[in-house]
Amino acid sequence: MTLEKKLQTIKTTLGISIDDVTLDNELSAYLDMAANEILNWMYLNHPSDRPTEPEVPLRYENVQIQGVVYGYNHKGAEGETVHNENGINRTFVYADMLDYIRSNVFQLI
């Protein structure tokens, strides 16, 4: 999947207009961080086998996209699984983007 398609999918999921490019740099940075974390986690036991280019395997592209959505939605509440503020209560399944990725990517044995 191309970067543009990933950005469109993320924007649609987050309710951001596809034509709005003001967040593209930030969302691209999240995509890069998610790609690197996926590869680092996959190759944790074999770091010398890790590809140098941060290209996510096809089977983990949706994990990368959903990881960005979790990360973006957690902005300001990183590390929290419960957030209460001004009478608004939120409960998160994952503490942050890394937690989501590590729960959904298998390490190579």
**8 Å CB contact between 23 and 87:** no
CA pair distance 4, 38, nearest whole angstrom:
19
C-alpha radius of gyration, the chain, whole number: 15
CB neighbour list of residue 95: distance below 8 Å, 6 or more residues apart: 74, 78, 79, 80, 81
Burial class of residue 67 in the structure, from the number of CB atoms within 10 Å of its CB (0-12 exposed, 13-18 middle, 19+ buried): buried
Q: What is the pLDDT along the chain (109 residues), one digit of tens a residue?
A: 999 999 999 999 999 999 999 999 999 999 999 999 999 999 999 999 998 887 899 999 999 999 999 999 888 666 677 878 898 887 877 878 999 999 999 999 8
Position 94 scores a pLDDT of 80
Q: What pTM, to 2 d.p., does this model score?
A: 0.86
pLDDT of residue 23: 95
- Residue 15 gets which letter from DSSP? T
